[in-house]
Amino acid sequence: MSVTVEKLENSMAKLTIEVSAEEFDKAIDKVYRKQRNRINVPGFRKGKAPRKLIEQMYGTGVFLEDAINDTINSTYPENAQNCEISDEISSNPEIDVVQVEAGKPFIYTAVVAVKPPVGLGKYKGVEVEKTEISVSDEEVEAELTKEQEKNATYNEVTDRPVADGDRVNLNFEGFVDGVAFEGGKGEDYPLTIGSGSFIPGFEEQLVGAEIGKEMDVNVTFPENYQSAELAGKPAVFKCTVLKITEKVLPELNDEFADDVSEFSTLDEYKADIRKNLEVRKEEQARTEKENKVIDAIIADSDITIPEPMLKAQQEQIVDELAQRLQSQGLNIDQYFSYMGGSREKMMDEVKDQADKRIRTRLVLEEIVKAENIVATEEDFEVELGKLAEAYGTDLETIKKIFEGREKDRMMEDIAVQKAVSFVADNAVEK
């Protein structure tokens, strides 16, 4: 097996991959062995007819298409990874079969996009607007209120109707045009009034409801409601409140601070909140500065991205979404159904994001080369330590995952991140 590389115009390349006649015949034989049990040949039990006889009956190409696909799928990744432009390939291949004849090598080509040349613009001394950092008393109080809310308790109420902020348990059933609809019924359902978790207008109408008394709640489903049968339609929910509990917030004093933090006084706790907010804002400001600098470098650089490279990045972004949805128990087809979209529509929507991601990576990789930025073994160990801590495992287990090419990729990513720090540190804030 061999591969030759030909550089083409517009940041494209053609790999010509040759598989020996002997290897390709083995691929055909493998397909024959997989499929022979499904082929009927008079005079032979299923799976016992010789390959040559089946080819005589059904044509010499009976196993050819699957053998071609299997051979390409098994040989392209290895050849692409080991060829002279392996680090430059930036798209899925466009395959074309060149030769497939008995007794001769099987030859096919794979046309791919490669990383385009980068005309790097100014990257040192880039001017960006400075972000001023300050923390107001209101922001400290807002954080304190969040902690107060987290530590709220709920007491059952029996001597008054529902009020805003209460947590209720209720029975309900929804009707459209007098007919109950699927999914519109709940029993002993917990709901916090004012949470916005129900249809707009539903929770507000429960304010004033009394325990045990049925009442009607009239709402209209939003036009973009996930169920097309209900979207935009008026509905009546017959509701009965079974239980009311009211939120009780803890008093903001030294005792509260001692309970929720490592500090014994409220003033000390507030000071720590302010300090943490300042650190958070400094991190945000640093990220904003890095983004502004990179945007300026991209704007001053000359890059022509080949279309297949852009498409591959769009597909990767959509696939990343699919993986995130899968981790939440959804699949991307369900997501498209809920959102009224499609893969093609999303591919178009993420085009600018894909373009920006590619340009960012390319200019940073060029800066890595220009400044001889390298990732050290110490850098590598630090990153592995972070991963081990994040996944709750030991360092040696993580090391086994990041070996060979995986380690190379991480080292490249570390070097790129160092380039981000380099251009940010060398920027001029106005």
3-state secondary structure of 319: helix
3-state secondary structure of 221: coil
Q: Give the span between the Cα atoms of 3 and 18, in whole angstroms.
A: 6
One-letter amino acid of 230:
L
Output the CATH code of domain 153-248. 3.10.50.40
The contacts of residue 40 (CB under 8 Å, 6+ apart) are: 46
Q: Please name the residue ranges forming H helices in 59-136.
A: 64-82
Task: Write down the pTM of the prediction.
Answer: 0.77
Q: Give the span between the Cα atoms of 334 and 126, in whole angstroms.
A: 45
* Same CATH fold assignment for domains 2-113 and 153-248: no
Q: Give the span between the Cα atoms of 209 and 214, in whole angstroms.
A: 9
Superfamily of domain 275-429: Trigger factor, C-terminal domain (1.10.3120.10)
Domain range list for the chain:
2-113, 153-248, 275-429
Residue of 309, 294, 393, 405 lying closest to 355 (CA atoms):
309
Per-position pLDDT tens, the chain of length 430: 899 999 999 999 999 999 999 999 999 889 887 877 777 676 666 666 777 766 766 766 678 888 999 999 999 999 999 999 999 999 999 999 999 998 899 999 999 999 999 999 999 999 999 888 999 999 999 999 999 999 999 899 999 999 999 999 999 999 999 999 988 999 999 999 999 889 999 999 999 999 999 999 999 999 888 788 888 999 999 999 999 999 899 999 999 999 999 999 999 999 999 999 999 999 999 999 999 999 999 999 999 999 999 999 999 999 999 999 988 888 898 888 877 789 999 999 999 999 999 999 999 999 999 999 999 999 999 999 999 888 888 888 888 888 888 999 999 999 999 999 999 999 999 8
Given the candidates 3.40.50.1100, 3.30.70.1050, 3.20.20.210, 3.40.50.300, the CATH classification of the domain at 2-113 is: 3.30.70.1050
Q: Give the span between the Cα atoms of 305 and 356, in whole angstroms.
A: 11
Rg (CA), the chain: 32
C-alpha distances (whole Å) from 264 to each of 256, 260, 275, 276 are 9, 10, 17, 18
Residue of 39, 61, 62 lying closest to 49 (CA atoms):
39
Q: How many CB atoms lie within 10 A of CB 75?
A: 21
E runs forming strands in 9-53: 12-19
Q: Give the span between the Cα atoms of 153 and 248, in whole angstroms.
A: 5
Q: How many CB atoms lie within 10 A of CB 17?
A: 25
Instruction: Kindly state the tokens that stand for 97.
Output: 């079969």
Torsion of CA 95, 98, 102, 103, to 10 degrees: -110
Q: Is 99 exposed, middle or buried (0-12, 13-18, 19+ CB in 10 A)?
A: exposed
Q: Give the span between the Cα atoms of 253 and 258, in whole angstroms.
A: 9
DSSP state of 404: T
